[in-house]
Amino acid sequence: MAKQTFETIEKKRKLFAQRVLTMVLVFVGVFALTYVIGLAATRHNARALVEPTETVNTDDKQGNDKQGEENGEETPAQPAESNGHTIYLTFDDGPGPYTEKLLDILKAHDVKATFFVTHVFSQYESLLKREAKEGHAVAIHSYSHDYKKIYASDEAYWADFEAMQQVILKQTGEETTMFRFPGGSSNTVSNDVPGMMTLLVKEANNKGLHYYDWNVASGDAGATTSSATVLQNCKVGAANHKNAIILCHDVKEFTVNAMDEFITWGLQNGYTFAALTPETDGAHHQVKN
């Protein structure tokens, strides 16, 4: 009896030990499987987060990736989420001595802008070709940019306009319907001939042309010669307008020198940069003459 009882107890003990071992193995197995599935899902999600940024802003992403590697983090680069604001950088009076540098900056950021061009610095004429080739809008400003001459009569204005159109056609292979009046449509430099701007705006509309003023001034038309002030004016203007048409001049070196930092700031803060199109609202000023 005593022996039987001992054997029974031994058997039960072994059976219990086997069950515990089985339970432990099952538990470990389930835990390991859950961990592996979880890891795979995390990696997949991380990839899904990264991929869309590549088309948005390649330069910025590369910069952030490098930072991530240095910190030993696996966290993907966080692109600036769009803040719904579009910046239309517009550059008047060129091409000139600083236009090539500006084009390099725009290219490095893959940002498009609009050039309202002249023939004042005629030796830079061929840069119109590069502007167009790199996806910027090339639009008419004036051939001579001589206020007295162009605003003497509507015939004089359109003759100057057509001369610039021919230069653009020669360099880019295309004509444009987009332009900016020298001094803007609200200028008073045309006051010698009363009603001149009212007449030109009417004639432009009849010709199916699109003119653009601006709702943000960088300040480089006379208010400042400081890159820091241009930068600040551009930032404030972009923040205050859903569609900011910023007046700049690529013939001003201090303006061109502010652009790398401004564009970097814009991209990091979710702004979209774009070139003007005939469909863009022209931010028209009130005509004063």
Query: Site residues (CB under 5 A) for Zn ion?
Result: 92-93, 182
Q: Which is nearer to Zn ion, 77 or 196 (CB)?
A: 196
Residues 6+ apart with CB under 8 A from 226: 254
For residue 91, the minimal CB distance to Zn ion (Å) is 10
Separation between Cα atoms, residue 27 and residue 20, nearest integer Å:
10
The residue (of 96 and 182) whose beta carbon lies closer to Zn ion is 182
The DSSP element (H or E) to which 154 belongs, if any, is: helix 154-172
Nearest distance from C-beta of residue 188 to Zn ion, angstroms: 15
CB of 181 to Zn ion, least distance (A): 9
Closest C-alpha among 103, 113, 105 to residue 261: 105
Rounded CA-CA distance 186/128 in Å is: 27
Instruction: Kindly state the tokens that stand for 118.
Output: 């002249």
Distances (CA, A) of 178 to 117, 188, 207, 251, 275: 11, 22, 11, 20, 12
Q: Which is nearer to Zn ion, 147 or 265 (CB)?
A: 147
- Closest to Zn ion by CB, 65 vs 253, is 253
Q: Write down the least CB distance from residue 189 to Zn ion, Å.
A: 10
Residue closer to Zn ion, measured from CB, 77 or 178: 178
CB of 118 to Zn ion, least distance (A): 7
Q: Check if the beta carbon of residue 41 is closer than 8 Å to that of residue 35.
A: no
CA distance 111 to 92: 17
